[in-house]
């Protein structure tokens, strides 16, 4: 990135830094994902997902981790554009490879969802036992 000086003697960059929502939208489009499908995979309303892309709100950490897995990047990359940048799906030669990656990402997402559900079940069980 090249820095330039404007007439007020303030240094700015020639390229604006992408926001969390911008990175999410960019990765979704480059990966060929549909926002409706992503919201369903993540278990959130479409409006919630769209609010993330528009930087009106941010996903909770469990949804951020799941989203990163689906998009093929690290959570750190989503948050700060650092870390694992994933696989460039446009350069994939085999649709089988892309399908395998998508399935692996779905497994990671389901595992995280399962862990969250188990926590909720334990909490409910404790509440029942305390009655």
Under DSSP, is residue 5 helix (H, G, I), strand (E, B) or coil?
Answer: strand
Q: Are 75 and 64 in contact (CB under 8 A)?
A: yes
- Classified by CATH at the fold level, domain 9-129 comes out as 434 Repressor (Amino-terminal Domain) (1.10.260)
For residue 112, pLDDT beyond 60: yes
Q: Are 16 and 41 in contact (CB under 8 A)?
A: no
Element (H, E) at 12: strand 11-13
- The answer for 60, left when phi > 0, alpha when psi is -120 to 50, beta otherwise, is beta
Q: Which two tokens stand for residue 108?
A: 């990671």
Average pLDDT, the chain: 77
Q: Please, what is the angle between helix 46-53 and helix 35-42, to 10°?
A: 110
For residue 94, pLDDT beyond 50: no
pLDDT value, residue 16:
53
pLDDT value, residue 3:
41
Band (pLDDT 50/70/90 cuts) for residue 13 is: very low
């Amino acid at each position: 990135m090249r820095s330039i000086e404007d007439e007020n003697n303030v240094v700015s960059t020639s390229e604006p830094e992408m926001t969390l929502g911008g990175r999410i939208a960019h990765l979704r489009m480059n990966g060929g994902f549909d926002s409706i499908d992503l919201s369903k995979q993540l278990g959130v309303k479409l409006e919630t997902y769209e609010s993330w892309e528009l930087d009106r709100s941010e996903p909770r950490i469990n949804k951020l981790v799941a989203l990163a897995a689906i998009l093929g990047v690290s959570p750190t990359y989503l948050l700060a554009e650092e870390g694992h940048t994933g696989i460039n799906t446009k350069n994939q030669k085999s649709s089988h490879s892309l399908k395998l990656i998508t399935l692996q990402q779905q497994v990671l997402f389901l595992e995280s969802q399962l862990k969250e559900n188990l926590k909720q079940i334990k909490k409910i069980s404790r509440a029942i036992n305390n009655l």
